[in-house]
Structure 1
Amino acid sequence: MLDIKWIRDNPKTLVEALVKRSWSGDDAQSTVDDLIARDEARREHLTELQTRQERRNAASKEIGNAMRSGDAALAEKLKAEVGEIKAFIQNGEARERELDKALNDALAVLPNVPLDDVPVGKDEHDNVVTRTVGTVPTRPNWVKEHFEIGEALGMMDFERAAKLSGSRFTVLKSGLARMERALGQFMLDLHTTEHGYEEVIPPLMVRDEVLYGTGQLPKFEDDLFFTPHGDGKLGLIPTAEVPLTNLVREDITAHEKLPLRYTALTPCFRSEAGSAGRDTRGMLRQHQFYKVELVSITDQESSLAEHERMTACAEEVLKRLGLAFRTMTLCTGDMGFGARKTYDIEVWLPGQNAYREISSCSVCGDFQARRMDARYKDRDGKGNRFVHTLNGSGTAVGRALIAVIENYQNEDGSVTIPEALRPYMGGLAKIESK
C-alpha cells in the first residue's frame, strides 16, 4: 500500500507511475484526484472532531466555574452544549471510521510504484534480457515435450488426475515422483546451508488479513481457493511468500536482526483465473504445485542489494542442475501488483524450443509492510520505520522437473539424472521405463 502523505506530496509522480503501468492518463489522473479528495475530506473531518473535543473540554471546565459562582442558568446552558458536542463526537467517530475505510479500500487496489531503472513497456514483449547463462543445445528431431516423455515412462498420468480432481492436475509416480521430491530437497539444502536462509514449515491456510498483507486481497481474490473455517473461511496459500512475509506482521524488529531470510518448500494452490486455453497440456500451469520460496525482510537501505543477492541464489539452482537460462528485467506493464522491480528467470525447454519462466524475484519496498504494519527500529533505536520485503521462487519445483526431463531426455525415452540430484535419488543415474 502506498503512503497517502507521499501521494499528496507527489501526485504527478504517481500519475506518471500508473501510466507506466499501462493505465490511461485520464484514469490515472482521476484516481489520484479521487484519493486526494478522499484524504482531504477525512482530514477536514478530523480537524472538526478535534475542534469539537477541545470545545467540550473547555465547556466542561466552564460548567464547574459557573456552578461555583452560582450561575445555574449558565451552567445548564453549557451542559446542553456539551451534550450536543458529545452526540456530534459519537457520530463523528463512526464517520471517521467510514472515511478511513473508504480511503484504505481505494489505496488497497493501487499498484506499487516502479523503480526508475525498470524498463517502460506494455507486456512481456517489452521485457529486457539482463543476462543469459549456459548454451542452448542443438535440438535433435527426436526431442519430446515433458508430458510425452512422462506418459511414455508410465510415470506421469493426467487422465487419472482428471478423474480425481479435474483439469490442471497431475499424478506423478515412481522415478518422476521421486525426482520431484529430490528437487525440492536439493533446493532447500542449497538455500539453507549455502545461502543463509532459515527453513520454515508454515501453515498452508491463512486468514484474510494475511492475504491482504502481501497484496493477494482484495484485488486477486478470484485467483485463490478458500475453505470454510468456523464462522468464516481460510485461504489456501498461492505461494509461501504469503505466510513467510507475514511472519513480521504487526511487529517491530530490532535493526541488528535484519536481514531476515526465510525459505519454505510448500504446495501452492492457484485457480489460474484468466488462464483458459493457456498451457493446458502438461504440468506448466497447475492448480496445485510445489515451490521453494525465498523471502527477505530488510531495512530500507539494503533492499536493492538483497534483490540482486536473492536472484543470484535462485539462478544458482539452475547452474547446479546444468540448465541453460536467461534472466529478464520485467517491464512496467508486465510487473506484479506489489513489486517495484522484478527479475524473471526463464529456463530453456527444448521440448517447447523456448525459454519459460521458472522463478520470479521481486523487491516490494515498504508496500507490503504498510499493509502488515511491519516495522523495524532505527540503528539508533529512537524511531521506527517500515521494513522492506522481497520474495522470489527458489525455484518452482514442478517447472524444474519439466526442465530436467526435457533437457536430460535420451533418444530411447529414458531421462538421465543430473549429478546434483543423484545423492537425493539413492545414487540412481537414469530413469527408465519399467
Structure 2
Amino acid sequence: MPFGFARQFVLHTFLGVGCRNPRLLSKATFVNTTLASTLRTAALLFSVAALPAFAQNVIKIGEINSYKAQPAFLDPYKKGMELAVEEINAAGGVNGKQLQLVIRDDNASPGDAVRAAEELLSREKVDVLSGAFLSHIGLALGDFAKQRKVFFLAGEPLTDKMVWQNGNRYTYRLRASTYMQVAMLVPEAAKLKKKRWAVVYPNYEYGQSAAATFKQLLKAAQPDVEFVAEQAPALGKIDAGSVTQAIADAKPDAIFNVLFATDLAKFVREGNTRGVFQGREVVSLLTGEPEYLEPLKDETPNGWIVTGYPWYGVQTPEHKAFYLAYHRKYSDHPRLGSVVGYSMIQALAAGITKAKSTETEKLVTAFSGLKFSTPYGPVMFRKQDNQSTMGAFLGRTKNDGGKGVLVDYRYIDGASVQPSDDVVKKLRPSN
C-alpha cells in the first residue's frame, strides 16, 4: 500500500473526516503527529530495506589506476571503459544486471593501490578488481588478488612477471606484454644487421623487463650483437642531455628505446638537437601509440621502427563500429588507451556472462580460454598463463607535415609471439 494512501486511510478510519469536537481534535492532532512520524520512519526503513535489492541488480567493477600520474594514456582509457559500460547497460547489462565502475587513483604508488583495493572490497563491496598502468603497481595488485582470493583483470601493466614469475590463478592480463611486443620488434631489428646497440629505458619494472627481453631475443637472433651503452633514467625524471650525450659517446649503430610519455618527448627533442639519431636506426617500444606520438608534432623522427596504434587506418568491422561510437560520444578519435579500456570492460562482461556469476572461483574458471571481442577483433585468454592474445601494430614513424603518424604498419596477432608452453611452465609458478 502506498505511503500516502495508507496514511489517509488510517486518519479517516480512526479520526473521522469531519470531526469538529475540540477535545477530539486535540487528540486527533496528537495521534496524527505520532502516526505521521511512525509512518515516516516506516517509509525510511522500507527504503533502506530496498537498497540490497537494488544493489543485487548492479555488478560493481573496482577500477584502480594512475590517473593523475599518467593522464595521456589513462584519460582515453577511462573514456573507453565508460563507452563500453554505456553500451552494455543499454543492451540490458550482464546477466540482467547493470555494470557500475567504482574508480580509485593509486597515486602511482603500490601501497596506495593496495589500500584502494582493500577499501573497494570492504567498503564498496565491489565484485571484481581491474586496472593498473604501471607494472610495479600491477604486480602489487596481482599479489593482493592472490592473497585475498579475488578476481583481478590487469588491463595495461606490461611486465612479463604479471603472468609468469609472479602469475597466479586470480590474475589475468589483457594487453600484449613486453615479451610479446619485443618479439614483434626483434625480427625487424635483426634485419638491420647492426652490430653495436645502445639501450635506453625507464628504470622500473616495465623498462627493465623490456630491455632484458630485447637483449635476450636479439642476441639469439644475431649472436654477434654488442650492447655498447645502457641508459636507465628514473621514470619521469630523465636528464635528456646527459642520456643522449652518453649514447652519442658510445657510437652505437642503432638504438633500442623504451621511454614513453614526457621522458620520450624530452629524449626526442634532445636527440634531434644533438643529431644523435642521424645515420642511426632506432627501434622503439610504444612510440607509435597516439598518446606519445602525436605530442611530438614537428619533432617527430622519421623511420623509427615502433609498436603503436594507427586509429586512422584500421578497417576491420569491429574497429569501424568502435571508432564511430567513440567519436559520436566524445567528438574525438580514440587512442590506444581507449582501446584497452573498452576491451577490458568487454572482457569482464564476457567472462561474467560465461560464469553466470561474479563469484571468484567461477570467474577464474570462466576466464580460462575465454573468447571475447575487441576493436582489434576476436581475442582469447590463454589457459597456460592467463595472458590474452591481443596483439599490436608494427610500423614506422613519419613526420607528416608536422604531425606524427604511423606508416607501413601491420597488425601482429599476440598468439604468434608467445613463447612455447614448455618455456611458460618453467617461468610460471603452479598456483
- TM-score of the aligned structures, taking structure 2 as reference length: 0.25
- The structure with higher relative contact order (CA 8 Å, sep 6+) is 1
If each structure's helix is expressed as a fraction of its own residues, which one has the higher value? 2
- TM-score of the aligned structures, taking structure 1 as reference length: 0.25
